A and B are shown apart, each in its own frame.
Chain A
């Protein structure tokens, strides 16, 4: 007797349309989604390899001084010319590796806001449960978050590396415990400021290249003007040094690390120079955020 195998089983299903009855988030969820989207964009994730080259190269370059510092410290360890606590770059100075960060902001801040306006994506974004304030928080938060990460990672490499190559890891840790709050605070001050100024300038144009040039131009022009003003007073400190707007977060950094302005600051020697620096920092930060809130207050469909 022949056993007949069962007919090959299989079925074709028309999946059709399936309604969604799962959880739904609100404004906060939408804002976080926009933040994630902007972070991905800034880092070049889910984009072509060309978009990834710049941010990751920059992170690598920014980390080089920390690696070199730790490497030299390791190489000269237990040698006759041993120099205890070798440092060719300090934590304070590392926060000031701002040229690389400024370059990063000049390229990424326009990239996360200009296409939204140029490609008319804004009406679609604002048809979701998002407000103009949410949009600004997400965009500035994304750039600030990435800058914070890029500025913090080398510091972590430096701290952990130095601790491991030092004669006593625990001693190094306790001796440098204050940088555990100083570095994050100073980096946060810098990241938020650069992000707010960068995104605010970028919001004024639809074209990425114009936004980038505006950010770098602001840095160059205000720095040059501040230099001229300082030269006019024979290199002494002058309150007019606050026009160097992109150096203001570095003044605040010095206040965090040193408790005073550094000697090479343009505001050094100016009465209440620290207060002036903090006031100017907050003024520029708030002006940038106000400009952004105004720009995204209302969107045409």
Chain B
């Protein structure tokens, strides 16, 4: 769905927002994760063909953006983070208008506006001006305009920003359903929990560089950690950590009774290694449990923080 190679964007002021980004993500739900200023918005601008990159190339939904920077937008939907809807128009008019702007005939745009407003739960409010909407309703109206033209891909910029817990749950549920409609999603956020909830893939960028990219399940598996609690004699934790290191397994002391062990590429075989090391050191094994790290842990580790 998105392919980029050597993508670099340096603004006239000298700020480099993206530095040689090379990434390929499949169709489906993809989380684009990075701190503020990481380059997420710049990547969106380049995907929408709003400016040419300083170097490199980018392909979105099968379109080379450099070849047809305007045409690629016919197949994209975009939901900005900030308020962006005309406040004095009804939700129905707004969504139908953006459907027409995306290329739909007027009658089809109005029909689809009705359908998608129904889908996002604004069917009863569709003839009310957007200016009277709550934050959650405005977010849903923004999502409706993004998907009204049945895009191949929607770009969602912080869709849960400013929402209360209930509104956030509803928005994530909607976003999670998009892939089932055949609409791919790129969800830009700094809230890793949101990505973990609704995305299948993640792309992490930091200061314009790619930190890592891949299926979330795989990342969580390969970066899993097990918590081991041992005792039986003083210095048990240090002794086990030393024994595991000698066996090629990374381990870190947590406190006087426990340590974290990276399962690493060996996966479940690491359990056997730990068991054997505990036995050889004649320690008492109190607990051995898998502790998958969150995406926050992965991001912080990979970004070197």
Q: Across the A-B interface, give the 9 residue pairs with the lowest CB-CB distance, nearest first.
A: A127-B78, A20-B150, A33-B100, A24-B103, A128-B101, A17-B181, A25-B103, A124-B84, A129-B73
Binding site for B on A (CB under 8 A): 15, 17-20, 22-27, 29-30, 33-34, 36-37, 46-47, 115, 119-121, 123-131, 298-299, 301
CB-based contact B102/A301 at 8 Å: no
Cβ contacts under 8 Å, A299 to chain B: 50
What are 11 A-B pairs with beta-carbon distances under 8 A? A20-B149, A20-B150, A26-B70, A33-B106, A120-B80, A123-B84, A124-B85, A124-B98, A128-B74, A129-B101, A130-B101
At the interface, yes or no: B82 with Cβ under 8 Å from chain A? yes
Known: A46-B89, A119-B83. A128 touches B73 (CB 8 A): yes
Nearest Cβ on chain B to A261's Cβ, whole angstroms: 44
CB-based contact A30/B93 at 8 Å: no
Identity of the chain A residue whose Cβ is nearest the Cβ of B44 in the assembled complex? A301
**A46 CB contact (under 8 Å) in B45, B51, B93, B118:** B93
Q: In the assembly, what is the distance between CA of A47 and CA of B90, in Å?
A: 9
Q: In the assembly, what is the distance between CA of A26 and CA of B74, in Å?
A: 7
Known: A22-B105, A129-B103, A130-B101. 14 other contacts (CB 8 A): A18-B115, A20-B112, A24-B103, A25-B104, A30-B102, A33-B100, A33-B106, A46-B89, A46-B90, A119-B87, A125-B101, A129-B74, A129-B102, A131-B70
B-side interface size class: 35 or more
At the interface, yes or no: B301 with Cβ under 8 Å from chain A? no
CB-based contact A30/B44 at 8 Å: no
Q: In the assembly, what is the distance between CA of A119 and CA of B70, in Å?
A: 23
Q: What string of 1s and 0s marks CB contacts (under 8 Å) between B84-118 and chain A? A: 11111110010001101111111010001001001
**A26 CB contact (under 8 Å) in B44, B77, B103, B182:** B103
Cβ contacts under 8 Å, B74 to chain A: 24, 26, 128-129
Q: In the assembly, what is the distance between CA of A107 and CA of B74, in Å?
A: 33
CB-based contact B83/A120 at 8 Å: yes
**A33 CB contact (under 8 Å) in B101, B145, B155, B182:** B101
Cβ contacts under 8 Å, B100 to chain A: 29-30, 33, 36-37
**B108 CB contact (under 8 Å) in A22, A119, A127:** A22
**A115 CB contact (under 8 Å) in B83, B86, B149, B180:** B86
Known: A20-B112, A124-B80. A34 touches B101 (CB 8 A): yes
**B85 CB contact (under 8 Å) in A29, A119, A126, A301:** A119
Cβ contacts under 8 Å, A24 to chain B: 74, 102-104, 149
Q: In the assembly, what is the distance between CA of A34 and CA of B99, in Å?
A: 11
Identity of the chain B residue whose Cβ is nearest the Cβ of A17 in the assembled complex? B181
Nearest Cβ on chain A to B288's Cβ, whole angstroms: 46
Known: A22-B108, A115-B86, A301-B41. A127 touches B70 (CB 8 A): no
At the interface, yes or no: B33 with Cβ under 8 Å from chain A? no
Identity of the chain B residue whose Cβ is nearest the Cβ of A111 in the assembled complex? B88
At the interface, yes or no: B235 with Cβ under 8 Å from chain A? no
Cβ contacts under 8 Å, B83 to chain A: 119-120
Cβ contacts under 8 Å, A37 to chain B: 97, 100
